[in-house]
A and B are shown apart, each in its own frame.
Chain A
Amino acid sequence: MITFEGVTKRYPDGTVAVDDLTLEIPAGSLTVFVGPSGCGKTTSMRMINRMVEPTSGTVAVDGHDVSTVDPVKLRLGIGYVIQSGGLMPHQRVIDNVACVPVLMGQSRRTARRAAYEVLERVGLDPKLGERYPGQLSGGQQQRVGVARALAADPPILLMDEPFSAVDPVVRDELQAEMLRLQNELRKTIVFVTHDIDEAVKLGDAVAVFGSGGSLQQYDAPARLLSNPANDFVSEFIGADRGYRALQFFTSSTLALRPVPTVTEDEVDGLALGSGEWCLVTRADGAPFGWIDTAGVERHRGGGELYDSVTAGGSLLRHDGTLRVALDAALSSPSGIGVAVDDTGAVVGGVLADDVVTALDAQRQLPQQETG
């Protein structure tokens, strides 16, 4: 458990970076510090491992005031991940990962052997261990950064905007990986970001910081989106918070509609009305794309199936959320979102209206989180 007790950071020029912060971070939870630039979120996080000393107040880990602990010993027990991994460019990847155990006194050989396993755990090919960080992609460097933080198996991880320098696709991957790892490891994680989407996606709890370093709201992500504490928070969350909040409702209550499907062989026999769509599936039942009368004509005229169909939208899986369901419906050319089972085969469809109806129904029940 990490506690902030009346913590203030004032710089000699009078700037207040953190203003009277009192906060309790439960052990084993992922807590996100979020806010605009200069709101003190990073400064607050860096007080936990004494990279920054508070002007007043106490930061404690498991009840021990960190200011009484030797900073080097303290830091060896706290994993740290920053943007681009913060890797040592002159050390091979494997030595970067083995760094903390070596600093703690393990032999280089033992530490390296363990480091290869950690590389695998974060989804990297152990062969990359022989390379230098400069030879890896941004996403790979980020994974190495996480591996280094995990190598000594510290109970606490501090992550400072770790995924903000990678492209959106890689970021999604890393976030999913992060949640998977956290499910396994149950570390106490403090995660700093300026991206509210990332905050509500990853956090068990989210602390919203405002300008001048004051804490505006500290809540579960679903509550943050449904009950912003003040104008600052609601403005920071953004206008589409209603849409974002859909991710906290399960799609399992949706009654799926039948979807008209055909296989490629049957396409030429289709008689579709104007504005009518039919889903073409592969032999294994997986969706291939939507086809309308124009597409059927093209296929009859000898066109490839690929050229005759319109690409489908996003897919809804059985463990999805209402946000995914609505997106599936909105991104489908027919307006019907396609639901698939674990094997990827089509099991039914969902309309945007169904999502709204399901949302109403779930709101009547005590709130159920899937996040």
Chain B
Amino acid sequence: MRYLLTHLDTAWALTLIHLRLSLIPIVLGLLIAVPLGAFVWRRPALRRIATLTASIIFTIPSLALFVALPLIIPTRILDEANVIVALTLYTTALLVRAVPEALDAVPAGVRDAATAVGYTGLGRLLKVELPLSIPVLIAGLRVVAVTNISMVAVGSVIGIGGLGTWFTDGYQADKSDQIIAGIIAVFLIAIVIDVLILLAGRIITPWTRTSSAIRPRTKVAT
């Protein structure tokens, strides 16, 4: 703990790198996965392909992906771009499954009513289904964020920057308080980001904070 307090300047610089490496992929992943997930949602064949592809991508170990990517795209292993592309792949793989699942959770009665009052297919998706899927999507996003933060930390093994470098440096110099400081710092930013996503989710879904005592009942058609 003392190490962390006496090295606040370094800690802050490393935190910025760590956040940049783990959060930019989340934004990019969302930009790719939301349209893609929404597109495959009502198309069972495409959805199966997307789910399968995503599962395969997710089984690739992260370190292997960091190392293998430069063979496919023109980046070097330690480029930030390399890390960002790799983590964007993971994020997309997770979210491309989470988005259709979040859309599945939209009550059928609401979807039906939206169609009946005259929403077009696209209008319904943008104005009704996607907004109502946010709470479930936020849950998926929180998993992705924490996963990315820990992957960046592990990446320090092959020399990727961020707070994980305190583990590797501390290990080499046999400085246990530096290792502990690294653990605490990674833990703290993971918690902070998790809470921030949770709060952001609450703010953009004001209707979920209303009384839960009265819930519209879904109707059984005859």
Residues of chain A whose beta carbon lies under 8 Å from any beta carbon of chain B = 37-43, 49, 51, 72-73, 75-76, 80, 82-91, 99-100, 103-104, 131-138, 141, 148, 158, 160-161, 165, 192, 194
Contact = CB atoms under 8 A, between A and B. Distances in A.
Given A80-B117, A84-B217, A90-B131, A134 B205 contact: no
B136 to A, nearest CB: 13
Nearest to A80: B116
A192 B123 CA distance: 28
A76 B117 CA distance: 6
B214 A161 contact: no
Interface in B97-138: 109-110, 112-120, 123, 128, 131-132
B212 A100 contact: no
B74 interface: no
Interface string B199-222: 000000111001110111101011
A88 to B, nearest CB: 6
B126 to A, nearest CB: 12
A82 B109 CA distance: 9
Contacts of B128: 88, 90
B219 A83 contact: yes
A51 B217 contact: no
A104 B120 CA distance: 11
A21 to B, nearest CB: 15
A75 B131 contact: no
7 contacts: A38-B222, A51-B112, A80-B113, A86-B110, A90-B131, A100-B118, A135-B210
A2 B83 CA distance: 63
B131 A87 contact: no
A197 B114 CA distance: 30
Contacts of A83: 217, 219
B222 A99 contact: no
Interface residues of B, number: 28
Contacts of A38: 222
Contacts of B205: 90
A85 to B, nearest CB: 7
Which residue, B113, B120, B212, has most C-beta atoms of chain A within 10 A?
Answer: B113
A141 B217 CA distance: 11
Pairs A-B, 4 closest by C-beta atoms: A86-B113, A76-B118, A75-B118, A134-B210
A39 B222 contact: yes
A59 to B, nearest CB: 15
Contacts of B131: 90
Given A84-B216, A89-B110, A132-B210, A100 B222 contact: no
Given A75-B115, A134-B211, A165-B217, 9 more contacts: A75-B117, A80-B116, A83-B219, A84-B217, A86-B113, A89-B207, A99-B117, A131-B210, A141-B214
Given A42-B222, A134-B210, A137-B214, A86 B115 contact: no
Contacts of A99: 117
Given A39-B222, A89-B132, A161-B219, A134 B212 contact: yes
Contacts of B132: 89-90
Contact of A51 (B110, B115, B219): B115
Interface string B149-192: 00000000000000000000000000000000000000000000
B110 A100 contact: no
Contacts of B216: 84-87, 89, 133-134, 141
Contacts of A158: 116
B222 A41 contact: yes
Contacts of A86: 109-110, 112-113, 116, 216, 219
B113 A82 contact: yes
Contacts of A49: 116
B144 to A, nearest CB: 23
A138 B217 CA distance: 9
Contact of B207 (A84, A132, A141, A148): A132
Contacts of A85: 216
Nearest to A86: B113
Contacts of A100: 117-118
Nearest to A138: B214
A146 to B, nearest CB: 13
Given A88-B128, A90-B131, A134-B212, A42 B221 contact: yes
